[in-house]
Amino acid sequence: MDERLKKALDFSNYMVTLNNQKRVLEEKYNQELLYYHNGSQFTVTRELINFCYTLLSTGNTEVVLVDDNKLPVQVIDLEEFHSNVLDVYFTASNSYYNEFVELKQKRTVEKLVDANE
């Protein structure tokens, strides 16, 4: 095989694997963004964080939010809720960032998938 083509195909294979691993990391991140409050599931988004912050800024301490199953949930202590969702967001995002940086530094397919065999 032409050396130029071989190099291109090797790189293509590397890129496919890199993109697959990025997708897996993103999926894991989405799972880590889940927060449970009083039996209801919330996916922590920047919108949710900002909405809670706006409510707190305007003097609200209680609120009814709609959870991931489209059902209303009463949040009695909004400040605690806000603090918890922020914590979930930071923990998940930092973990995502660290793993992403680690992934980007791997230059071979074997290293990308941590194959020891």
Partner 1 sequence: MSKGVIVFARNNSNIDYVKQAFYLAKKVKQHLGLPTSIITDNVDYLKKTYNENVFDKIIEIDYDHKKNLRNFFDGALSSKSDNFKNSSRSSAYDLTPYDETLLLDSDFIISNDLFLNCFRSNHDLLLYKDSYDLSGTRNTKEFEFISDSGCEFYWATCVFFRKNETNKMFFNLIKHIQEEWHHYRRVYQIQSLLFRNDFAFSIAIHILNGFKKGNFAAQMPGKLTYITDQDILWNIDKEKMLFLVAKKDYIGEYHAISTKNLNVHVMNKFSLSRVIDKELVNEQ
Contacting residues toward partner 1, per CB under 8 A: 13, 16-17, 20-21, 23-24, 27-28, 30-31, 34, 36, 38-41, 68-71, 109, 112-117
CA atoms 104, 99, 31, 64: torsion sign: negative
Strand partners, 64: 74
Minimum Å gap between C-beta 84 and partner 1 is 14
Amino acid identity, position 17 = T
**C-beta closer to partner 1: residue 25 or 86:** 25
> Which residue, 33 or 55, is less far from partner 1 as judged by CB?
33
Q: How far is the CB of 86 from partner 1 (least distance, A)?
A: 19
- Which of residues 39 and 59 has its CB atom nearest to partner 1 in the complex? 39
Residue (47 or 117) nearer to partner 1, CB: 117
Report in angstroms how near the CB of residue 40 gets to partner 1 at its nearest: 6
Q: Which residues pair with 41 in a beta bridge?
A: 36
Please state, as a whole number, how many other Cβ atoms lie within 10 Å of the Cβ of residue 91.
13
**SS3 state of residue 62:** coil
Q: How far is the CB of 3 from partner 1 (least distance, A)?
A: 22
Cβ–Cβ < 8 Å for 88, 33: yes
- Structure-token match 């397919």, residue found: 109
